[in-house]
């Protein structure tokens, strides 16, 4: 007998049967999306892989099947809302449900604000921010009826602490955070069973550092530490299964966000002095280098980038709710101590 829906909730480890949970990952052909798709497959999910590049999608499909699960590849640009909606319909027609939807697709432009063209700002916004909205709407269309499911927004420490040379990307990630907070209140108002979580990431060793649209003479590189994508993917799967309000992954993410709360002006001045050189590698930008701002990659780049020698293989994540709770307890303890001191 096929297992019931309650026996195949995310978090369990069923095999690739007709009752296994279904995860949809955008930007699944490479980088964090590719690693996340594999991580879901290893947890027993059937995985729908959404991206633009056919070669990368084929490679990701092979990886999902090698992990012992079933994959479905769909060529789609997340900037196109109707294509994203159609992709969601295709997943449900194939497997009957969507349990988890991960909005991971992104693009970026590296260069000063006044060197970045309006069309480039528009493209980064359409893929990174509007792509997350399109994915969320597509997921809600199918999750609302079942009154269950989890939407995962892939964010960044840069959603809280912007840096120079990446204004388009920082703006898009910040916008996703604002949109997500608004939607969360609506789901709470409706007493919806659909869950919403946002995962803030550190620098990750992915191919994006070789194919970003550059206005600088050298390719960019991760700032503030770098982690392997499979490590990050495990945190994303944990967020999908537990659905905290937010999950901060990596020490640099936690330091950046908390530092911005405490001393934003100091960080402004520090980044103005240091962040230009820290972001640029010694690898020059050459004619013919990959650039996927407007076109998909025409080869399979896999999940990892070229920073294996410095990328970290272990990390930890923090639910900021626990940080806020600890801060509240500390504040109450301090107030109580002051009160007792004054009475004495």
The set of catalytic residues is 169
- Give the DSSP letter string of 42-58: HTT-EEEEEES-HHHHH
Q: CB atoms < 10 A from the CB of 65, how many?
A: 14
Residue 29: HSE in the Cβ half-sphere, 13 Å Cα cutoff: 25
Containing 121, the helix (H) or strand (E) segment is: helix 118-124
How far is C-alpha 130 from the geometric centre of its chain's CA atoms? 14
Angle at 323 between CA 319 and CA 327, to 5 degrees: 165
Alpha carbon distance 18, 5 (integer Å)? 10
Angle between the N-to-C axes of helices 229-242 and 31-42, in degrees from 0 to 180, rounded to the nearest 10: 60
How does 121-131 read in b/e, with b if 16+ C-beta sit within 10 Å? bebbbbbbbbb
Q: Name the region of 250 (left: φ>0; alpha: ψ -120 to 50; beta: rest).
A: left
Question: How would DSSP label each residue in 50-117?
Answer: EES-HHHHHHHHHHHHHTTS-EEEEE--TT-HHHHHHHHHHHHHHHS--SEEEE-----EES-GGGS-
Give, for 341, the enclosing helix (H) or strand (E): helix 320-343
Helix (H, G, I), strand (E, B) or coil at 151: strand
What distance in Å separates the CA atoms of residue 326 and residue 332, rounded to the nearest whole number? 10
- Of 127, 128, 146, 233, nearest in space to 195 by CA: 146
Contact predicate 267/161, CB 8 Å? yes
């Amino acid at each position: 007998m096929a297992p019931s829906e309650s026996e195949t909730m995310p978090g369990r480890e069923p095999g690739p049967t007709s009752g296994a949970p279904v995860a949809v990952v955008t930007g699944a052909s490479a980088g964090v999306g590719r690693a996340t798709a594999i991580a879901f497959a290893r947890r027993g999910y059937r995985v729908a892989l959404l991206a633009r590049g056919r070669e990368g999608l084929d490679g990701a499909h092979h990886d999902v099947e090698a992990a012992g699960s079933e994959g479905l590849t769909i060529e789609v640009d997340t900037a196109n809302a109707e294509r994203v909606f159609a992709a969601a319909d295709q997943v449900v027609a194939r497997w009957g449900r969507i349990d988890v939807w991960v909005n991971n697709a992104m693009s970026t432009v590296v260069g000063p604000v006044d060197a970045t063209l309006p069309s480039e700002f528009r493209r980064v916004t359409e893929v990174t921010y509007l792509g997350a909205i399109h994915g969320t709407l597509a997921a809600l269309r199918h999750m609302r009826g079942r009154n269950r499911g989890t939407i995962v927004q892939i964010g960044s420490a840069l959603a809280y602490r912007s840096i120079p040379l990446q204004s388009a990307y920082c703006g898009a990630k910040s916008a996703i955070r604002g949109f997500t907070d608004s939607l969360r209140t609506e789901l709470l108002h409706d007493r919806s069973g659909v869950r919403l979580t946002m995962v803030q990431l550190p620098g990750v060793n992915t191919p994006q550092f070789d194919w970003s649209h550059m206005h600088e003479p050298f390719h960019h590189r991760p700032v503030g530490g770098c982690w392997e994508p499979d490590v990050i993917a495990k945190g994303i799967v944990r967020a999908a299964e537990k659905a905290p309000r937010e999950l901060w992954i990596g020490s640099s993410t936690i330091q950046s966000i908390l530092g911005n709360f405490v001393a934003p002006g100091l960080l402004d001045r520090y980044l103005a002095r240091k962040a230009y050189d820290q972001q640029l590698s010694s690898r020059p930008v050459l004619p013919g280098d990959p650039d996927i701002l407007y076109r998909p990659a025409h080869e399979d780049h896999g999940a990892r980038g070229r920073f294996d020698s410095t990328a970290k293989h272990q990390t930890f994540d923090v639910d900021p709710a626990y940080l806020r709770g600890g801060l509240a307890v500390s504040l109450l303890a301090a107030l109580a101590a002051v009160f007792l001191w004054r009475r004495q």
